[in-house]
Amino acid sequence: MNLSFRDSQVIWHPYTQARLSGPPIAIVTGEGVYLYDESGNRYIDAVSSWWVNLHGHAHPYIAEKVSEQLLKLEHVIFAGFTHQPAIELAERLLTILPAGQARIFYSDNGSTATEVAVKMSLQYWRNKGFQKNKIIAFQHAYHGDTFGAMSISARSSFTDAFSDLLFDVIHIPLPCKGEEAETLRVIEEMIEEHEGNIAAFIFEPLVLGAGGMLMYEAEVLDKLITICSANSILTIADEVMTGFGRTGKHFACDYLKASPDIVCMSKGITGGTMAFGATSCTDEIYSAFLSDDRGKTFFHGHSYTANPVACAAALASMDLLMREECMERIEEISASHREFILKSQDSKTFKNLRSQGTILAMDIETPEESSYFHSLGSRLYSFFIERGIILRPLGNTLYVMPPYCITKVDLDLVYAAIESFAKEVSLE
């Protein structure tokens, strides 16, 4: 029996309607940008395995550091105890995080990183003697799948089954190009309407991932942060997808003049090796939890908080990220994406071609019939799989987000496959 069949008997996959999807492809090994399945087929991982992989699969340097740590200390309770990898990682993160970040709180994934950020901001105000219970978020936002993270995310078919139980959030329009003024008007209006009751504004800086790789400018985000700060609203940058070089700088917030109060990290933090999350905050926030009153404690933690092996993977990934050749690769990918956009300006199939650093996205022109593009999604996926490329569209948005180690040759193969898809569609 092959792995795909055995899987079909016992496993429930994420975001998958098993009735309608084919059997999953069983991956046996990974090396660099490639994944190999049980039949020996090779795939270029052009989506970095759900946006987590930075330096390629089974990276020998990360593997070495992880195995060294495993033989030294695999885990220890993180209340009342600490360890070298957690300390060193916090010290090093603070050297690259946006200005003002002073403390690191560890968790284990992106949803917990944002959940922690929201709880931190709400309790911050409570500890300071204020009653604030509203959060501002963008329409189309995605901050994770736990209840708090779902609540602050956009309402969609993903959240329909739970909508009655999600807490109420103020969703403001995304400041897409040309629509910045409307967003600024709405946030001002909401601040007035909910006078003194808004605890925080959470946002994916510059690129909204799951919402469809939607992009907006740093300038308007600077204005939004400035407005929030002037109105005693904490700002939370969800850098879960954008962090660690994705957008061309260490963090998307590095494009800003203003600084957020809280930053959420996960996905690429371990180079895609292990589940891990971190939430950083300013000294001002941390200080509000210091008290002789135990009621002001931040009562949050996970069994695997600050897992030493995950910290070792994160430290190793950061070593690789800091190498000059890695930043050069990021620049080269960014330049290639821009070149592809220039070349595809007149495409009849692709609209709204856009890029930010290593992320390239485009929308596929579809007729009104939404059923058509649902089938288009799986057709796209199969088209690329047959050509040995993993691309997983979001609705009618096709995007490329490769590991930084991808070569120009492989990146060109990905572009060529996209162009041949466009050709095929245009002949219909």
Ligand X SMILES: *Cc1c(COP(=O)(O)O)cnc(C)c1O
> Among residues 13 and 351, whose Cβ is nearest to ligand X?
13
Smallest distance from the beta carbon of 367 to ligand X, in angstroms?
Answer: 30
Smallest distance from the beta carbon of 127 to ligand X, in angstroms?
Answer: 25
251's tokens: 């963090």
**Residue of 15, 351, 372, 412 marked active site:** 15
**8-state DSSP, 167:** P
Residues that bind ligand X (CB under 6 A): 109-111, 114, 142-145, 204, 209-210, 238, 240-241, 266
CA–CA distance from 148 to each of 113, 115, 132, 139 (Å)? 11, 6, 16, 16
Per-residue DSSP letters for 181-203? HHHHHHHHHHHHHTTT-EEEEEE
Smallest distance from the beta carbon of 314 to ligand X, in angstroms?
Answer: 14
CA distance 53 to 63: 14
Residue nearest to ligand X (CB): 110
Smallest distance from the beta carbon of 157 to ligand X, in angstroms?
Answer: 17
CA–CA distance from 294 to each of 16, 105, 126, 298, 303 (Å)? 44, 18, 14, 9, 21
Smallest distance from the beta carbon of 424 to ligand X, in angstroms?
Answer: 30
CA–CA distance from 288 to each of 130, 251, 383, 413 (Å)? 12, 26, 53, 52
Strand order across the beta sheet in which 101-107 lies:
101-107, 277-282, 262-265, 234-238, 198-203, 134-138, 170-172
> Among residues 35 and 141, whose Cβ is nearest to ligand X?
141
Is 34 an annotated catalytic residue?
no
> Among residues 145 and 419, whose Cβ is nearest to ligand X?
145
Per-residue DSSP letters for 6-27? HHHHH---TT--TTTSPPPP-E
**Residue of 124, 249, 267, 363 marked active site:** 267
CA distance 250 to 179: 27
What's phi and psi for 162, nearest 5 deg? -120, 5
Smallest distance from the beta carbon of 350 to ligand X, in angstroms?
Answer: 23
Is 267 an annotated catalytic residue?
yes
**Residue of 37, 45, 108, 238 marked active site:** 238
Which residue pairs from 2-11 have beta carbons closer than 8 angstroms and sit at least 24 positions apart in sequence? 2/26, 2/38, 3/28, 3/38, 4/38
CA distance 395 to 350: 14
Which secondary structure element, helix H or strand E, spans residue 149, and what is its range? helix 147-152
**8-state DSSP, 78:** S
> Among residues 153 and 183, whose Cβ is nearest to ligand X?
153
> Among residues 65 and 143, whose Cβ is nearest to ligand X?
143
Residue with tokens 């190793």: 316
Smallest distance from the beta carbon of 116 to ligand X, in angstroms?
Answer: 12
> Among residues 32 and 211, whose Cβ is nearest to ligand X?
211
Residues 150, 153, 154, 158: is their CA dihedral positive or negative?
negative
**Residue of 34, 106, 142, 399 marked active site:** 142
> Among residues 214 and 240, whose Cβ is nearest to ligand X?
240
3-state secondary structure 365-390: CCCCCHHHHHHHHHHHHHHHHHCCEE
Is 238 an annotated catalytic residue?
yes
> Among residues 266 and 270, whose Cβ is nearest to ligand X?
266
Cα Rg for the chain, rounded, in angstroms? Answer: 22
Is 15 an annotated catalytic residue?
yes
Which secondary structure element, helix H or strand E, spans residue 170, and what is its range? strand 170-172
Smallest distance from the beta carbon of 287 to ligand X, in angstroms?
Answer: 27
- The catalytic residues are 15, 142, 238, 267
